[in-house]
Amino acid sequence: METMSDRIAQSVKDSLKSEFGKIGDSVKEAIRSQLNRPGTGETSDKTIYDYLLITGVSGMDEMMPAEFKDLSKSTKESIFSALLKELNPGDGITFSDDEKVPFWVQATPLDEGFRPSKTASQKRWIRLDSITQVIPKALSGGEDKPQTEWIWALAVEANKEKFYVTSKEFKGEAIREPERKLLAAVTKAVSVSNSGAGLGLF
């Protein structure tokens, strides 16, 4: 049974979430105003997302509203992470639409030194049960930066070739959720394939 203290704690949590949401909106609009250029129209959410990936929390204070500047670093990072999800929702991973268990994932070839391709002609389907490695690949970062500031892409190795499985790039720990999702899909496809249940789909 919910107690009075539980209700108070939830009320405080909801209030803080609402307040931080408002601050996040202020941050987004401050960046949009900074990036807007005459004659080019309003800056898109995708452009703001790409800007935040490169800038990170540490590079944002200059243009930010006062209520954001006054927050602790950990709170800024939480708002930053939530804002990235809002600006570019989803993970960009596309599985085949098999009835129960997907056996294929869309991918593009991984060329070392290049970021994930968004070109439609580069896309192909690879079998999930052929994947032998799931690889969170650092696109930027280094020993002089905390991993929360690194930019990542999600790659795999299949049949001794490497592929990106999404063109979306992720900041810091945001890579973990799509990484776990892909690992689960590979595990399930391999299990079903080994049991013989999926043989009719190939």
Q: pLDDT, tens digit, for every residue of 11-51?
A: 434 444 577 778 888 888 888 888 887 777 788 898 888 88
Mean pLDDT for the chain overall? 83
Domain match, 131 and 47 both: no
- Name the percent of the chain lying above pLDDT 70: 85
Look at residue 97 and tell me if it is in a domain. Answer: no
Among 58, 87, 116, the domain-final residue is 87
Q: Which domain holds residue 78?
A: 4-87
Look at residue 147 and tell me if it is in a domain. Answer: yes
Please give the sequence-ordered ranges of beta strands (E in DSSP) within the chain, or none if there are none.
104-109, 124-127, 131-140, 151-158, 161-164, 170-171
pTM: 0.73
Cα 132 from Cα 129, distance rounded (Å): 8
Residue 180 has pLDDT above 90, yes or no: yes
Look at residue 41 and tell me if it is in a domain. Answer: yes
Among 54, 87, 120, the domain-final residue is 87
Cα–Cα–Cα angle for 50, 30, 81, rounded to 5 degrees: 50
Cα dihedral 114, 162, 176, 167 sign: positive
Look at residue 57 and tell me if it is in a domain. Answer: yes
Residue 143: pLDDT band with limits 50, 70, 90? confident
Residue 93: pLDDT band with limits 50, 70, 90? very high
Domain match, 83 and 116 both: no
Q: How many domains would you assign to the chain?
A: 2
Look at residue 144 and tell me if it is in a domain. Answer: yes
Look at residue 96 and tell me if it is in a domain. Answer: no
Q: How many helices (H) and strands (E) does the chain have?
A: 5, 6
Look at residue 94 and tell me if it is in a domain. Answer: no
